[in-house]
Amino acid sequence: GAVVSQHPSWVICKSGTSVKIECRSLDFQATTMFWYRQFPKQSLMLMATSNEGSKATYEQGVEKDKFLINHASLTLSTLTVTSAHPEDSSFYICSARAVAQGSSNQPQHFGDGTRLSIL
């Protein structure tokens, strides 16, 4: 259980293109999804928190107009990198947290990431 699917897994595109990445929770409902970025040999950096039906909360230094997040349903969040440039090339990873079951704390479950390469 607790499977998070991310699509696409790899994308290469030209500078100036906008790229959409999808994150789906396959077997559970997620009120909250998170988007991370990871550069080679570095740890994950939280970019934004996405709550179903409301605007995403961005971390300091993350441009909300550059990284558009939509969380339209309890199983889908999308990240759109608008007008991507080579410096946006990175490994983008989403995670989802299940709707709380009683008093038990639900951990985040991660997708397998999207490798974005901007030429």
Partner 1 sequence: LAKTTQPISMDSYEGQEVNITCSHNNIATNDYITWYQQFPSQGPRFIIQGYKTKVTNEVASLFIPADRKSSTLSLPRVSLSDTAVYYCLVGDWDDYKLSFGAGTTVTVRA
Binding positions for partner 1, rule: CB under 8 A: 2, 4, 6, 32, 34, 36, 43-46, 49, 91, 93-95, 97, 105-113, 115
CA atoms of 114 and 102, how far apart (whole Å) = 33
User: Between 15 and 55, whose beta carbon lies closer to partner 1?
Assistant: 55
Residue of 8, 31, 29, 3 lying closest to 20 (CA atoms): 8
What CA–CA distances, in Å, run from 118 to 19, 94, 97, 101?
10, 19, 30, 41
Residue that is written with structure tokens 């969380």 in the block: 71
Query: Which residue's CB is nearer to partner 1, number 23 or number 84?
Result: 23
Q: Which residue has tokens 């961005």?
A: 58
Nearer Cβ to partner 1, position 8 or 107?
Answer: 107
Residue placing its CB nearer to partner 1 in the complex, 63 or 112: 112
Q: Minimal distance in Å, beta carbon 16 to partner 1?
A: 26
